[in-house]
Structure 1
């Protein structure tokens, strides 16, 4: 019996080659797209699943919310002081480690400074808390200070081999040079991890930061420069610990005097333990080691995968119901010969599952071919494994059964209910299935509603992406090189000489130093007291020098910017701190430049009104407790980060102790300028790596992942349209064939070719018009919420929706017009010769 069913099913496919191709190819595209998307979704949700004991390893995060404004910053990093406090307060913690250090690390190899790839300082046996798989050595590798471990790839990059355990490694950080001993090699961290480091150094933190002239880093609760990870004891409920965080803050975070007011530093911060598997898709992405993602974006991709698969199943159902009437006589004859309804249902479901299996084979081949490009494009380590815990073989089998059953259920149950007497008596071999026309129209409406909605969303995403790229950032990125490390200790006292030599290079037009560079990710804020305002006001604070604004090309809106010839502009004091100089500066006061957002934040009506106004800036009590700052200039707002991040209200201080980046404006060949710049840098900073990049390249790299996701979204939206059109193509072919006799009669009665084409085209475009009415409001609602995550965004007008609807209509008309025209031109004699 099953052999007969298989033979009949294959012959039915062979007899209707167009039907077989459309169904197999359309379903294969849907299955392949679904597989690829779900592989990506599973990959994004698999972050840090590979880490041993991951259910007990947590990252300690801090969430800043200003008491005086809407500013907020959800941070994966925390101050160094939090580690000891959390260990003391929670005995449920088995171990904890701090790593990061808030400083750059340089490897001195063969007398030359080499910049390691993601190097971090650790203050304790790191592997007790985060048990990374080891390639050489064991988890005791970082027990003693002075130990170093490298990843396999970093060992090969620096030494050409991983057989380096026991070798010395010379490190320079904060101007302190020290020898470490390599005690282990850990396996490369997979891409699906929120952690990123290739070199870990077990340092003596108190001694190192004392020598580096920065002991405050270890005690300041407002200074974030690294990450704290904890490992909980077995059976501990992390939710219970997080409920105790408010009490922990009050018991451990000290009070300070801020602008003459006693306040707790923790009043504007919340803390929580977050499992390592939830960090990548979590809401805290500040100070992230790797670029995170949004859970909502991953959910969107999963929804698209399901929609594409549903559309492919709808195609199958549509075409199967269209062919149902052609198999009515076969069903009737089988029933006459004794076949039961259950056998007929089994036959048609088996045929459906066979078709789904053939489609899955094609889909897997397509997925295998496309996967390398797909993975590279998304910068993800995507692979198809058929066996094992993450194998796709069982899901594929289940998907074939599900798709086959879902796609063939209606045709199977409908065909099996035909009454032999009615079919054979009325010769209904080519009749319309009762109610199936309405079903097919409904399915076409749903398919095109999905397609139109996805096209409209794609148009909005593309427009927003182009807008983000073309938006004026408030400074000139073209011809700008950003160099890191200018504030390092080895350069201290020689910065002016370095700048003079850089300015003397051919093609260099100007040079400036800054504490806020192009998408550097660092944030710094403080509170000030403005006369007439009872509460302190939060505002960003960054150091620059007099060359910064001219070099960046930032426009002056009112007043003036800093001038090297005006000593009163300079607020730089000696390093290390000189109490006498600090007190003298506090008495003298200082001049500041603010941006336009700062004008609004400080409560001034216009930039011109702000010029000459003063406010109080809190400093240490021993230096006077407050300093008067005078606004001398207002500059245009600049967007140093992506369009997702709101423009920060900023006051710029002329303070070269708080600069980390050098900005170099040049004209000419970028490669030549970069080479010359490196030569000067090596001359002054032989113990510092040359870390420079063009500003345009920095932002291009920043937007790369965002653009990639948007483009992938567009590709899958296009696939949804293709699937919908394939189904429409098949329906048009079968409808035209079924209505051949009707068309012949119409032509005999005087209908013109154009009349018949218009009749058939309207029959299939009417559902597309209805689909627009469904798709537009849904797509508008989804895109409104999506655009709200951007600080600068396009206006959500009707254009994307009208374009999507119009394009869908054109595609539908083009798809069915060829069939309609061919049938309309057929000689009616061929259709009516048997009448």
Structure 2
């Protein structure tokens, strides 16, 4: 019996090849996108699952007060870990992590070979216990308690030493720190929130002997006793803070973040060391989208089945007259649907394999098709197939099979209004979703264009930052600057601690000695030439002095307009005044005032900023403005010049404009994914509309024949058939516009500088939706209008 049902199903597919092809295409595409999205969702939800004590591991977060913008920092002061481990009984272990140079690339020398290392961290040895990191070679992780020791990942050890045994050998970091290799650990999984190539002993750092409560630069993980209360522990952490920091100096509070939340619940947090930060809202949206696309594909199947229901009802009537039961017909229709969905599933898997590389490129992921063949994913595919079969086959299986033989054989009988209205409602839903996507993608692209065209207050084009972190000695750096200046394609050179687009030192700016709170200010140790090099607009005064004598303790600063507004001065009034900046030791003299500029992404409003000449931080970059059109030749000459002066460090550089683009990588990814899903949703919606148009044309075939016999034109019949569908699209547009406005208004709130959603966006989306619907419906309507009326009026 089952074999016969399959044979009948296969014959039915071959008989109606066009509709079968559309059915299979819609389902295959829906399943392919669903598979890819669920591979991504499954991967994102798998982060940090492999750690043995994951339920007991927490990251310490710092919640800043109003003077620091109420930001949540993923890094805590160095004094937090030892203090809470000593004073809070429920804290079993605590470990600090400091990224080398506060995020700078490390210059590693092994023998006579130079390496660039972006993943060197200084950590407490207890980190190995907390995360159960195994030592593959070497005696024990406790060797890292000794200063000037390091453990390497397997791949890093092979990169540095090849086939040699690395244990006991040394590496030179930044031409300053000689580190002994004491252990080899496995490479971290790609779905781990922590990932290190090299782990240096924390006892080698400045923060080990005198841990501070002020410098919040250390990612801190703790392991609590099983069953410990998080709320109680957080209250005890506040008591520890009260014990060590005066209330007046408490610019932050401490909270705990479960390890399972680190990856997906840290979007918007500051200073995370994770290479890849997920977003739970994105995961929820993609889950909903995957299910919606799958549902729409199933709805399309039902709509296309109803388009041929007139022929199928006769088939049902004949079978019922010959004694077929409703149950046998249900099995038969489900066999046909199951065959279609099974074919679609295999085609969908093939399409998903083709889509995966493009998806990886868009998202920056490294998903592999092999993930699909894990037990949970294979189980999911079976569930996909069963669910799709049950949902997509529900209408033909239950509605057609239950019709009476008399109604089925009566050519004038029609389906119930409720069923038709349901299908119309689903088409409205499809087009409403499509219009929301059209509006969303348009607004996202407008915001991206706005950010790209926004005047930043400085000129990042043709500006290059060359890393000098591995260079020791001021004289060598000055020689390098001199050699760069001698190149014809270089117009300006300056040294600085940082540049717009990366973090510099955070301090507090006070109005006067009585100002207890102050405001946050970013401070950048720079040369005098940096103002001219960045093309900043000097509003008043002058730049920093060209030369600062040894022993000169006077600190001079150039502030931005935001800083002097906080101080209550005009630019002209501020010049020559003394200002109190935390950590400078004494008041600094204001030499000049520059206009505000966007030193961070446009997600954040402009804050206070200062260029200064206090010798508190190293100038880690040489900034160059070049004028050559041939960038390949320019970079070759810059590299040659660097290597002629610096023989023991690798040449590393970044273009300032490319670095700024990196800040908006997530928005570019969202826009591209939105565009792809928008096109997909519109295509799938068009399939549904095509099916409903075919169904209506089938139902009104005799009416169309009568009208043609009475002289109706093809245009008139096309208009008659199309207007009802355009009404559905207008209803969809009416529903979609308020929803799209609400969604995109909320999305734009994440930007300090944003576009205004104008009426043209909605007009464009509405016109585009109507045009797509008109083209889709007209195709079927014209086909029906041009049909031979004799055939449509022929009776049984």
Task: Give yes or no for TM over 0.5.
Answer: yes
Distance 1:431 1:71 in 2: 65
Equivalent position of 1:55 in the other structure? 55
SS in structure 1 of the partner of residue 50 of structure 2: coil
- Give yes or no for contact 1:73–1:286 (8 Å, CA) kept in 2: no
- Give yes or no for contact 2:362–2:672 (8 Å, CA) kept in 1: no
Matched, 1:511 2:493: yes
Alignment of 1:694-773 (within 5 A): 694-773=655-734
Shift of 1:188: 2.2
Equivalent position of 2:197 in the other structure? 198
Distance 1:298 1:685 in 2: 47
Alignment of 1:594-605 (within 5 A): 594-604=559-569
Shift of 1:29: 0.7
Alpha-carbon distance change, 218 to 340 in structure 1, aligned in 2, over 3 angstroms: farther
Matched, 1:369 2:361: no
Equivalent position of 1:326 in the other structure? 311
Distance 1:318 1:619 in 2: 70
Normalised TM-score (structure 2): 0.91
Matched, 1:461 2:444: yes
Alignment of 1:521-560 (within 5 A): 521-530=503-512, 536-560=518-542
Alignment of 1:35-434 (within 5 A): 35-66=35-66, 69=67, 71-100=69-98, 102-103=100-101, 105-132=106-133, 136=137, 140=141, 142-145=143-146, 146-161=148-163, 164-173=165-174, 176-184=176-184, 186-202=185-201, 204-205=203-204, 209=206, 218-251=210-243, 253-255=244-246, 263-265=247-249, 267-283=250-266, 284-385=269-370, 391-424=376-409, 426-428=410-412, 431-434=414-417
Q: Deviations over 1:402-451 (max 9, x none)?
A: 12212222343322331223444x344x7444433222211111111111
- Give yes or no for contact 2:463–2:656 (8 Å, CA) kept in 1: yes
Alpha-carbon distance change, 43 to 799 in structure 1, aligned in 2, over 3 angstroms: farther
Alpha-carbon distance change, 21 to 43 in structure 1, aligned in 2, over 3 angstroms: same
Shift of 1:269: 0.9
- Give yes or no for contact 1:285–1:292 (8 Å, CA) kept in 2: no
Distance 1:223 1:690 in 2: 30
Deviates more, 1:46-55 or 1:22-31: 46-55
Shift of 1:314: 1.6
- Give yes or no for contact 1:38–1:302 (8 Å, CA) kept in 2: yes
Shift of 1:532: 9.9
Distance 1:493 1:697 in 2: 30
Alpha-carbon distance change, 93 to 128 in structure 1, aligned in 2, over 3 angstroms: same
- Give yes or no for contact 1:318–1:443 (8 Å, CA) kept in 2: no
Task: Give runs of ≥4 in structure 1 deviating > 6 Å.
Answer: 386-389, 531-534
Distance 2:704 2:774 in 1: 19
Q: Deviations over 1:237-281 (max 9, x none)?
A: 434323432222112x334xxxxxxx543x221222323332122
Shift of 1:788: 0.6
Shift of 1:466: 2.5
Q: Deviations over 1:350-375 (max 9, x none)?
A: 43333222221211111122212322
Deviates more, 1:274-283 or 1:31-40: 274-283
Distance 1:387 1:295 in 2: 22
Distance 2:360 2:581 in 1: 51
Deviates more, 1:152-161 or 1:135-144: 135-144
Equivalent position of 2:627 in the other structure? 667
- Give yes or no for contact 1:525–1:541 (8 Å, CA) kept in 2: yes
Shift of 1:467: 2.2
Q: Deviations over 1:303-324 (max 9, x none)?
A: 2212211211221222233333
SS in structure 1 of the partner of residue 741 of structure 2: helix
Alpha-carbon distance change, 361 to 638 in structure 1, aligned in 2, over 3 angstroms: same
- Give yes or no for contact 1:148–1:202 (8 Å, CA) kept in 2: yes
Distance 2:28 2:140 in 1: 48
- Give yes or no for contact 2:520–2:607 (8 Å, CA) kept in 1: no
Alpha-carbon distance change, 148 to 334 in structure 1, aligned in 2, over 3 angstroms: same
Shift of 1:101: 5.5
- Give yes or no for contact 2:68–2:520 (8 Å, CA) kept in 1: no
Alpha-carbon distance change, 2 to 788 in structure 1, aligned in 2, over 3 angstroms: same
Q: Deviations over 1:19-41 (max 9, x none)?
A: 21111110111111111112112
Q: Deviations over 1:708-753 (max 9, x none)?
A: 2321222112111111112222333343344332222112212122
SS in structure 1 of the partner of residue 352 of structure 2: helix
SS in structure 2 of the partner of residue 200 of structure 1: strand
SS in structure 2 of the partner of residue 72 of structure 1: coil
Shift of 1:142: 4.2
Distance 2:503 2:577 in 1: 30
Alpha-carbon distance change, 466 to 387 in structure 1, aligned in 2, over 3 angstroms: closer
- Give yes or no for contact 1:491–1:685 (8 Å, CA) kept in 2: no
Alpha-carbon distance change, 402 to 522 in structure 1, aligned in 2, over 3 angstroms: farther
Match among 779, 782, 794 for residue 821 of structure 1: 782
Q: Deviations over 1:759-810 (max 9, x none)?
A: 1221222211111011111111111111111122111112222222211211
Shift of 1:528: 0.9
Distance 1:48 1:634 in 2: 47
Q: Deviations over 1:146-191 (max 9, x none)?
A: 4432223222322234x52424122235x6332403422x222232
- Give yes or no for contact 2:152–2:181 (8 Å, CA) kept in 1: no
Normalised TM-score (structure 1): 0.87
Distance 1:281 1:681 in 2: 41
CA RMSD of aligned residues (A): 2.9
SS in structure 2 of the partner of residue 482 of structure 1: strand
SS in structure 2 of the partner of residue 554 of structure 1: coil
Match among 428, 438, 459 for residue 445 of structure 1: 428
SS in structure 2 of the partner of residue 391 of structure 1: helix
- Give yes or no for contact 1:529–1:535 (8 Å, CA) kept in 2: no
- Give yes or no for contact 2:576–2:589 (8 Å, CA) kept in 1: yes
Match among 729, 732, 736 for residue 775 of structure 1: 736
Q: Deviations over 1:200-230 (max 9, x none)?
A: 122533xx53xxxxx6984322213332222
SS in structure 1 of the partner of residue 472 of structure 2: helix
Shift of 1:645: 2.7
Question: Unpaired runs of 5+ in structure 1?
Answer: 210-214, 256-262, 575-580
- Give yes or no for contact 1:513–1:656 (8 Å, CA) kept in 2: no
Deviates more, 1:496-505 or 1:750-759: 496-505
- Give yes or no for contact 1:502–1:511 (8 Å, CA) kept in 2: yes
- Give yes or no for contact 2:125–2:141 (8 Å, CA) kept in 1: no
Distance 2:606 2:33 in 1: 38
Distance 2:767 2:672 in 1: 21
The alignment covers a number of residue pairs equal to 788
Matched, 1:637 2:596: yes
Distance 2:583 2:7 in 1: 88
Distance 1:293 1:601 in 2: 36
Alpha-carbon distance change, 494 to 383 in structure 1, aligned in 2, over 3 angstroms: closer
